[in-house]
Amino acid sequence: MARMIDLIRVSALPSNMMMAAAKGALSVPPREMIEILVYLAEHNKIFSDQAKLTLAGWDEAASWAVASESSTPKEVLDYMISQQNLRPALLPALLENPSVSEEKLVELAATASRDVVEILLKSGRAKGSQKIRESLESNPHVPGTQPESQASQCATPAVQAEAPANSGLPEQEFSLTSVREDVLLETVSEPTGPEDVLDESILAYLNEHAAEIENEGDKPFQPIGGFYDEFIPSHEPLAEAISPPASTGAAAAPKRAETTRKAHPIHEDDRGSALKKISMLDIKGRIQLAMKGNKEERSILIRDGTKIVALAVLESPKISDGEVESFASQKNVLEAVLRGIPMKRRFVKNYVIVRNLTFNPRTPLDVSLALIKHVLIKDLRNLSGNKEVSETVRKLALKMFKQKLETGGKS
């Protein structure tokens, strides 16, 4: 008797069954269902998007079993290990599966994100493969792989010790000095002091992003849209807010100022002072302030239209989880910021941050889809009805809500 996958390959099923297949609703074993979904995602233009969505939310335990089996079809393993489809939670199983080709792992190592790089660096298979190590050498997310000309400027032990922190990986776990060696070496260096370490971190960040900084030139501070509303409580043009029209009379100005302060109890003088200070800085100055400044200054610089400045805020050792919870829900920040937040292990462990990112319509779709699996059932229900986010996110949230409801998921 022909398997369902064989019937699908020759287009022998009616459209309603094809749609059911794309939604993962056929009565076939999980392994075959995943094989069907991968085939539809790769070869069927009509049902490809639905199949990819279904795979993104497929049960992790079932997916792990398929990823770890050496008998799993090559097309399925190639789909799972590809950069655009990889679920990091499945990577350890894929790395230990001998049927996953070394060539695919070499491709992944060259372009992998920071969280994936961390898993690769801990893998015995990656450590034992010269090709994978050489591919990792070209990945900018691997600590210690900056160009020689830049490395020579910041090759002190303190900078090497700070590299993992700059890459979003916990300092205490490892500090990679080079992937050019036959084995992945680890070093630990004692910093000379908090300020020295911070200065070294800034230098390393400036060196790492030297090309981007040069390309930006002397670009001034340009906040993302809607930003000035926070500084002008009356929501009037800047000139009017600073200097009221003469027709209002001298007595009206104090009254208006008093009303404004009562309605907006924010420390406007402090924020205005910070804004003035920031507006006078060049890109390098704003990067240094993003990493060394105070909470008020970080809240302004996170909305800098220059990506390299905004991302520097996330590298600040002074930043708190509460600040990042706020950043994760904001719509007036660059997408690069929302993409960068979950790349930090510390932040992705915070449930409020994860929830805020999935509810933020500005969060990139691939980031939202990857985080939904961590959302609690009560929030999945609310997310499925949130018309601000994309339809794809709502559909996956509804599907996972129903799955958790059936399995007795706790809110």
Amino acid letter, 139: N
Query: How many helices and strands, by DSSP H and E, does the chain display?
Result: 28, 0
Largest CA distance in the chain: 92
The confidence score (pLDDT) of residue 196 equals: 55
The confidence score (pLDDT) of residue 179 equals: 37
Alpha-carbon distance 411 to 400, whole Å? 13
The conformation of residue 317, written as its DSSP 8-state character, comes to T
Alpha-carbon distance 220 to 209, whole Å? 18
Handedness of CA 326, 257, 220, 277 (dihedral sign): negative
The confidence score (pLDDT) of residue 167 equals: 37
Q: Are 168 and 113 in contact (CB under 8 A)?
A: no
Q: Percent helix, strand, coil in the chain (nearest 5)?
A: 60, 0, 35
Alpha-carbon distance 232 to 240, whole Å? 10
Mean pLDDT by 10 residues, the chain (411 residues): 83 89 90 94 90 85 93 95 88 94 92 85 91 89 53 37 37 35 34 55 86 85 65 37 38 43 48 82 92 92 93 93 94 92 90 94 91 91 93 92 77 47
Angle between helices 102-111 and 114-122 (to 10 degrees): 130
The confidence score (pLDDT) of residue 155 equals: 37
Q: Report yes or no on whether pTM surpasses 0.85.
A: no
The confidence score (pLDDT) of residue 241 equals: 34
The structural domains of the chain, with segments of one domain joined by +, span: 4-137, 143-208, 217-242+267-319, 320-411
